Amino acid sequence: MSEPVIAVERVHKWFGTHQALDGVTLNVKSGERIVVCGPSGSGKSTLVRCINRLESTDSGRITVNQIDLAEGPLAVEQVRKTVGMVFQQFNLFPHLTVEENLCLAPVRSLGLSESVAKERAKEYLERVHIPEQAKKFPLQLSGGQQQRVAIARALCMEPAIMLFDEPTSALDPEMIKEVLGVIAELADGGMTMVCVTHEMGLARAMADRIVFLDEGRVIEEAPPSEFFTAPKSDRTKQFLSRILQH
Amino acid sequence: MQWTRQNLFSSWGNTLTTLLILAGLLWALVPLLDWLIVSADWRGSKRVDCSSGGACWVYVAERFDQFLYGFYPEEERWRVDLMAVVLLGSLSLFLWSRVSGRTATACVFLSLIIGWFTLTGGESSLPPIETRLWGGMMLTIVLTVGGLALAFPVAILLALGRRSTIPVVKIFCTAFIELWRGVPLITVLFMASVMLPLFLPDGASVDKLLRALIGVSLFAGAYLAEVIRGGLQAIPRGQYEAAAALGLGYWRTMYYVILPQALRHVIPGLLNTVIALFKDTTLVLIIGMFDFLGIIQASLNDQEWLGLAAEGYVFAGIIYWAICFSLSRMSKGIELRSNTHRV
Amino acid sequence: MLIAGAVWLLGNIFDNLADRGIASGFGFLRSTAGFGISTSLIEFSEASSIGRAFWVGLLNTLLVSAIGIVLSTILGFAIGIARFSSNWLLARLAVIYVETIRNIPLLLQIFFWYFAVLRSLPGPRQSHELGGLFFLNNRGFYTPSLSLDAGGVAILFSVILLAVLAILKRGQKRVVKLCAFLASGLFIFVAVGAEFSLPELKGFNFSGGMVLSPELVALVIALSTYTTAFIAEIVRAGILSVPRGQIEAASTLSLPYRDQMRFVVLPQALRVIVPLLTNQYLNLTKNSSLAAAIAFPDLVSVFAGTVLNITGQAIEIIGITMAVYLTISLSIAFAMNVFNRNTALRGTSP
């Protein structure tokens, strides 16, 4: 098929003396859904944060839609317009209403008119099943609702790619389901996605490919059927046995 | 090279800013350094030695002793030097980890009392020196350190009182604190110097320095109290409950459990208050005392050295800056260190 | 025992006052002043009452404070934000400014500006001038002035009020609205017949225009540059208090840097900044009392200085002076509490 939309080539990243990424290579094709998993501190969050340059890399190359992120601020701007991101801590703007959270970027950075942006906000709030919360403030919502607003906020930029950085880790167990449901619906819609998660159920249901990271290296890369039934590396087995126990 | 590009010339606007700043610096710094150092007069002892058009540092050198000691008699200045050493010595006990904070505090207070008697010469065989002769940096330090020493015990009581559950105590302490925090220091000094004598019986008079000290300490006490209260608020409830469960009474709980923790928390805040007070002592010149700035200001009117305002103020500025800046660095250092301890 | 002490103190006071032949009470406020005041916003002469001198001083205090607050807010925000500049030189310069200014006593800075700078400027004939409109010499700072009748003043105020309302009201086109208001205001202004007067050199001094005395200029410069350093620190702390995630979220939404600051960072930082800022405003107002050191006629200088020396009624005068500052402090503190209640993040408490 065509060129990958995300190409990560031999990327190294250090935080002081700690090596977060150690020669990671990863290609994502258009429409592909990747789940990145691994023990904590394995560098999986750093990897997705590098893809839209929230973190810089020390060596190696990352291109998104053939744009090299190292080219400078303009390239980063261009990439960020097509890449949406959802954070573990939601990072909604607490001083703005839900609707204002959704409209801010479309108006300010895409240059949409206020009314078009509002229309769009309404549409995506419906997609995440909370159209009635538009006038509320983020802190008045439950965690699950907040995360769905965050997803809608990213979608309002109509990105071609979505990055998820542990979207359910900060949620109470009973809220996880509603957020996973929304993510699964998105996956069904054909969005290109890279998702860091511990939710193996989600991985099994929607991933085209699972990437297992440990100590900054890609240990294993396989479709879910293979990954769960016939893991090749010992470390993967160990990880799976620990995480599937409960 | 890459660093320059990234930090100074990353974009058009950035480059323009850099160039403008460089031009501005060149325009301002070159004449300034020339005046300050290159074409300044450093040698000599008379006004006529200053002829180059640069700064006249001869004047500062000539007056230096007076800037330090004011009008304190020359042959008795060893007392001031000695007491400065004693004070610094006792203060440095705080930095020595083998001496407890309580012992160090006691030593400082003791050295202040000794210092007062040595400097005034009261009750001893030393010739007495009236406080109106005190001046310069010596007076500034006496006011700062003395004011703080008087204010500190009061501040602790006020801070405790403001958190008291007894309404009368709480209201009184709150009102007292807010009163002094709500008015400018200069009005407090006016009050101390003009109104205080009215409260005393006929014939009795309070030394002018003592009056200023009382004013300064009332003012500083209110601010210190608020800093200490911040520390008290940071102590978790569990500490009070644990102390109560052990059967310690209120005062013992405070003295042995709460205050030691609270005060350690607020050392940076206390140091910032010290810096503020050190700068604020300059105000005593308005009520006619000759502190460091006051004596410099007065010397500018000396017929022999007229027209040297810039030199005087620049010199005073450098000294004040050096002292305040090092104190604020110290406060920041302690803050950082205690933050890493807590994590 | 407390009561006995109080009685003893009061007894002393009355004895002392009687000895000095000073009558207690506030009657002195109605007596004739007998002195002039150099800078005054309202009419004042030697024949005016001491009570009026009080108002002159208070208004001067408020004038200096108001100018100082406006200037130091603008500069403080600029320098506070400059500390985050991607331009290394600019960020350094901002740090150096803050660290230099706030470690030098304010009184020293006032003296520096007054004695070392403004008083050693050349005389009127060798004034520094800017475009024939502004002149600076050792007699003060001369600017063009604008004389208005009562109607003009009313219109000016209503235009300013409308403009402020336009800014405060949330709306997309507020800049456009603001410009429209200002333009129409200016138009009405000219139509009503405001008179501009330019300073002109006549003989040995200037006439026409408006003159700000060297005392006022020195005080305003020193107060605002000093407070600027503190406000810059507060702004910096406020910006740092906004969680990193907020800026990350804004930048992944590809908001331009300006908009990140304007819509995401500053509104949240303001919650931290505003209470501390009012503290600085209060400090500035209290610090304006240092005017006494260079004889600018502010409240302390006129009332607790000149009037006290003439009448000797220390208790009443110091009492009134303190009460004025206390009133200002407490009312601003009260307003601050109301503000805090209104801007608390919605949803933080159930």
CATH code of the region C27-144+198-343 = 1.10.3720.10
Highest mean pLDDT: which of B52-61, B147-156, B188-197, C295-304?
B147-156
Looking at chain C, which residue has its C-alpha nearest residue A114? C172
pLDDT at C11 over 60: yes
On chain B, the residues whose CB falls within 8 A of the CB of C99 are 325
Whole-number Å distance between alpha carbons of C296 and C179 = 38
**Cα torsion at B239, B245, B250, B253 (round to 10°)?**
-40
Q: Which one is the CATH code of B53-72+129-342: 3.40.309.10, 3.30.70.270, 3.40.50.300, 1.10.3720.10?
A: 1.10.3720.10
Chain B neighbours among C 306-345 (CB < 8 Å)? 308, 314-315, 318, 321-322, 325-326, 329-330
Whole-number Å distance between alpha carbons of B168 and B170 = 5
Residues C140-167 as b or e (16 or more Cβ within 10 Å = b): bbbbeeeebeeebeebbeebeebbeebe
pLDDT mean over C176-189: 68
Say if A141 is an interface residue toward chain C (CB within 8 Å). Answer: yes
The residue ranges of every structural domain in chain C are 27-144+198-343
Pick from C89, C289, C314: CB nearest B186: C289
More confident residue, B283 or C147: B283
pLDDT mean over B190-219: 83
The residue ranges of every structural domain in chain B are 1-39, 53-72+129-342
Per-residue pLDDT tens digits for C279-300: 999 999 999 999 999 989 999 9
pLDDT of amino acid B150: 94
Confidence of residue C350 (pLDDT cuts 50, 70, 90): very low
Domains assigned to chain A:
6-91+161-244 (3.40.50.300)
Confidence of residue B180 (pLDDT cuts 50, 70, 90): very high
Per-residue pLDDT tens digits for A66-99: 999 888 888 888 899 899 999 999 999 998 999 9
On chain A, the residues whose CB falls within 8 A of the CB of C265 are none
pLDDT at C163 over 80: no
Say if B324 is an interface residue toward chain C (CB within 8 Å). Answer: yes
Using DSSP bridges, classify how beta strands A161-165 and A83-86 pair: parallel, antiparallel or unpaired. Answer: parallel
On chain C, the residues whose CB falls within 8 A of the CB of A104 are 253, 255, 259, 263-264
The shortest C-alpha distance from C312 to chain B (Å) reads 9
pLDDT at B234 over 70: yes
Residue B187 to residue C300, Cβ atoms within 8 A: yes
pLDDT of amino acid C208: 72
10 Å Cβ neighbour count for C258? 9
Per-residue pLDDT tens digits for A38-61: 888 889 999 999 998 898 899 999
On chain C, the residues whose CB falls within 8 A of the CB of A91 are 243, 245-246, 248-249
3-state secondary structure of A222: strand
pLDDT of amino acid B342: 45
The ipTM value here is 0.90
- Phi first, then psi: give them for residue A172, nearest 5 degrees: -70, 150
pLDDT at B194 over 70: yes
Cα dihedral across residues C74, C80, C85, C90: positive or negative: positive
Two structure tokens written together for C343: 């801007």
Whole-number Å distance between alpha carbons of C280 and C167 = 24
pLDDT at B112 over 80: yes
Residue B279 to residue C325, Cβ atoms within 8 A: no
10 Å Cβ neighbour count for A118? 18
pLDDT mean over B24-28: 91
pLDDT at C20 over 80: no
Confidence of residue C221 (pLDDT cuts 50, 70, 90): very high
Per-residue pLDDT tens digits for C39-68: 777 778 877 888 888 998 999 999 999 999
The shortest C-alpha distance from A107 to chain C (Å) reads 10
Whole-number Å distance between alpha carbons of A244 and A224 = 14
On chain C, the residues whose CB falls within 8 A of the CB of B288 are none
pLDDT at B343 over 60: no
Name the helix (H) or strand (E) containing B103. Answer: helix B101-120
Residues in chain B, overall count: 343
Residue percentage of chain C with pLDDT more than 70: 83
More confident residue, B44 or A210: A210
3-state secondary structure of B301: coil
Which of A104, A142, A156 would you mutate first to test chain C, the one with the most C CBs within 10 A?
A104
